[in-house]
Amino acid sequence: MPATLRSLLHRADLRLRSRTAADDVALDAPLSWLHSSDLEDPTPFLADGQGLLTTGTQFGAEAEVPGDVADAYVRRLVDRGVVALGFGTEVVRAGTPDALVAACERHGLPLFEVPYETSFIAVAQANAEAVARDANARNAWALAAQRAISLAAMRPDGLGATIAELSRQLDGWVGLFDVSGRLDRGHPVDGVPAEDLEVLRVEALRLLRAGQRASLPVTTEHHTGFTLQTLGSGGHLSGVLAIANGGALDRAGREVVTAVIALAGLALQQNRELARARGLLRTGLLTMLSVGDPEVVQSTSREVWGPLPAEPVRIAAVDVADHDLDTVVDLLELWVQDRPGQLFFAVDDALFLCVSADDTGIVEELVGRFDLRAGMSDGAAYRSFGRARTEAVQALDRRREGRPGTTEFGDLAREGVLAHLAHVDVDAGAVARAFLAPLLDHDRTAGTELTRTVRAWLDENCEYDRTAQALGIHRHTARARVEHAGRLLDRDLTVFATRADLWAAFVVDTAGADRGGRSGRRA
């Protein structure tokens, strides 16, 4: 047990006598050292948590000590952090001055008498021995605790066992928050009220977003104190350790916590190395999806992470700065665990996310949290993954020109082909194919000739009579087909700008024009 005034008063050989009604808190306060001084103001030579022994010479030769003098003296000691005052009797004065007793009572400073036959050296030595015994005991505890924690780290769930062992050694709650600010594990379970956990979560997330190694004391409504300590290196934090310590830890306690921080950091680093290996696997699977081989990817993903998102899917290409990439990937790994079958991601020339077409909230959540720029494809089957990936990249290229947020490829197609010809980094052919897709799809499924008719109509300067003659059909049929095409495209083909966009789409997408011609020849 630590050296305290209570332990000194219990030493029968010292024959000390308490003169104030000190409470348990004051009697059990750690007493780090005892000085002796008769200076009127000894506080420049004292430190917090120390005690003072005096014979009262500083109060003069008068039998009674003035109340204001005693009060000022005690107030100076209390303000300095002195935790006990011992008065040596029968040296200068017979007994302890009443004014000094009253001042100590008033300011809450424990006062004890040291009889003439007990030397100050004996009292100070007794306290020093108690301090040494406590230090040795705490050192032995720290060694035993570190050994127990090291053994716990070698168990199958080393990180969880380490957290639990630290909780037992400190006799308090210990928790680990992951990079998303979520409580990954805590011991004992339900050891902290939900309101306190929310406060800790918010503060842990603030430390993680700062990105620097730090320690932060936190006080909550139901607990006297927590300490938050980041894990990992500056610029790539891997979590936050939370300890309910009820106050400052002593040196031995700090050593034990430091050992846990090192072990937890090592465990998280090993997890990071494993994550890098998984990242390489993800990139390979992304390549396989892009070349149209989803079956192998589906079976591999199911074994490692869970099933791929259900078709149709949308692909998001996300622009992430190098210094944020590891943090973003760590968060996505957690989301994959928490949301099986909703997300597949991989890093290649950009960060690519694959989600179900009706569940794009994950992308928006990521973009909003890290203030990123992203491009989103149209819906597609896995057999068309390569096309969807190209669309996502094209949309991302456009979004890079503006503020953080998400640009959808469908929005680019609705802008028309001509709007993109000025952007040399945009694949106008992809935009053209998307623009003409409603016509091509309708001709393919219904066996119509809308694409061929519209192309001929444009070739004939939008004159229905000449179009009908070129195709060998009635002019009313030609008009009906063009109007039907306008409805499918959701465009007004009487407007010059729309006709120009349509013409540009045919010119840019030669392959699309060829498909239209072949469609017409099949009919």
Give the model's confidence band at 25: pLDDT under 50 very low, under 70 low, under 90 confident, else very high: confident
pLDDT tens column, 246-267: 556 667 666 677 777 666 666 6
Query: Mind listing the pLDDT tens digit for each residue in 76-108?
Result: 999 999 999 999 998 888 889 999 999 999 999
Per-residue pLDDT tens digits for 429-451 = 777 788 888 899 999 999 999 99
Name the DSSP class of 419.
G
Please, are residues 131 and 33 in contact by the beta-carbon 8 Å criterion? Answer: yes
Highest mean pLDDT among 161-175, 248-262, 392-406, 507-521: 392-406
**Cα three-residue angle 187-189-192, rounded to 5 degrees:** 90
pLDDT(154) > 70 = no
pLDDT average, residue stretch 392-414: 84
pLDDT digits (tens, 9 = 90+) for 310-341: 989 999 999 998 877 877 887 888 788 888 88
pLDDT of residue 304: 81
Q: Is 502's pLDDT higher than 90?
A: no
**pLDDT over threshold 60, residue 44:** yes
* Helix locations, 447-495, DSSP H: 450-459, 464-471, 475-489
Segment among 10-24, 210-224, 240-254 with least mean pLDDT: 240-254
User: Among 98, 76, 96, 74, which Cα is nearest to 87's?
Assistant: 96
Q: Average of pLDDT values for 348-361?
A: 89
DSSP-assigned states of every residue in 241-264: EEEE-SS---HHHHHHHHHHHHHH
Q: How many Å separate Cα 172 from the centre of its chain? A: 23
Q: What is the pLDDT of residue 389?
A: 92
Residue 518 pLDDT: 36
pLDDT at 319: 92
pLDDT at 522: 30
Mean pLDDT is lowest, of 151-160, 269-278, 339-348, 478-487, for: 151-160
- The pLDDT value recorded for residue 416 is 59
Dihedral sign for Cα 392, 397, 401, 403, please.
positive
Tokens in use for 217?
């004391």
Q: Specify the higher pLDDT residue, 40 or 242.
A: 40
Edge-to-edge strands, sheet with 84-88: 17-18, 111-114, 84-88, 50-54, 33-36
